[in-house]
A and B are shown apart, each in its own frame.
Chain A
Amino acid sequence: MSLPGSPIKSMRTPLARVRSLGASHSGTSDFWRQRLTAVAMVLLMVPVIVVVMMLLGRNQAGAAQILGSAPIAIIMLLFIIASCWHMKIGMQVVIEDYIHGEKLKLASIMANNFFCIAVALASIYAILKLSSGV
């Protein structure tokens, strides 16, 4: 693909370059997943608020017992997955809007992925550890 103003001419037309998966290289999958995870969190919001209210003012033993129970652990796991996925896509949109240098943009998107996956896995690990009672 030639850059605008480049002497090297591409055989591909502008339409061919953006056809199918488009300039993002991933089509509209992120657009869809952003909405999918948003609706998931709307549905999960009331249960999650109830869980947080149940935990208020309790010590570690009490909190661990509540978070380790199956229905609450599952609610928390669903919420962690939906929120981390949602924030990964959201931050990528912000990066793509404001960072224009290609290298810095790619590095930022990579860092964003690392952060979101690390937060998700750390939280999931904690819930699974509480559930298994180890």
Chain B
Amino acid sequence: MALSIIHRVTGIALYVGTLLLAWWLIAAATGPAAYANVQAFTTSFIGRLIVFGYTWALMHHLLSGLRHLVWDLGYGFKANEREALTWGAAIGGISLTVLLWIVAYMIGGGR
């Protein structure tokens, strides 16, 4: 199944993306100038694209991982169940990403 390799690829993307998270936290602990640099990047077009991609990778990896936990418990191995779990993770990941960004724009835009 293609979703299996996507679980890996999103995992690797999240791995590299922790550099951005670490940079953001260190900047917050450093001072206004350092934090402004992070904000300049994350509000730029390429920065938003990366953070959007990161949100999707996280949501997809989360749901795809839950699917693996269901399998670890010994459920969901029938063909139709596997299909449902896989499609659920794929569609759910995209839906949650879009939903989170709508909420983020509503909250962030209000500040």
List the interface of chain A (C-beta within 8 A of B).
35, 38-39, 41-42, 45, 49, 53, 56-61, 63-64, 67, 76, 83-84, 87, 90-91, 94, 119, 122-123, 125-127, 129-130
Contacts and interface: CB of A to CB of B under 8 A. Distances in A.
Q: Is the interface of A mostly helix, strand, loop or mixed?
A: helix
Contacts, number: 81
Q: Is the interface of B mostly helix, strand, loop or mixed?
A: helix
The bracket for how many chain B residues form the interface is 20 to 34
Contact of B107 (A56, A87, A127): A56
Contact of B104 (A53, A83, A125, A127): A53
B35 A60 contact: yes
B84 interface: no
A94 B62 contact: no
Report the 5 A-B pairs with minimum CB-CB distance, sorted nearest first.
A60-B35, A57-B111, A56-B108, A126-B25, A126-B29
Interface of B: 8, 11-12, 14-15, 18-19, 21-22, 25-29, 31-32, 34-36, 62, 65-66, 69, 72, 100, 103-104, 107-111
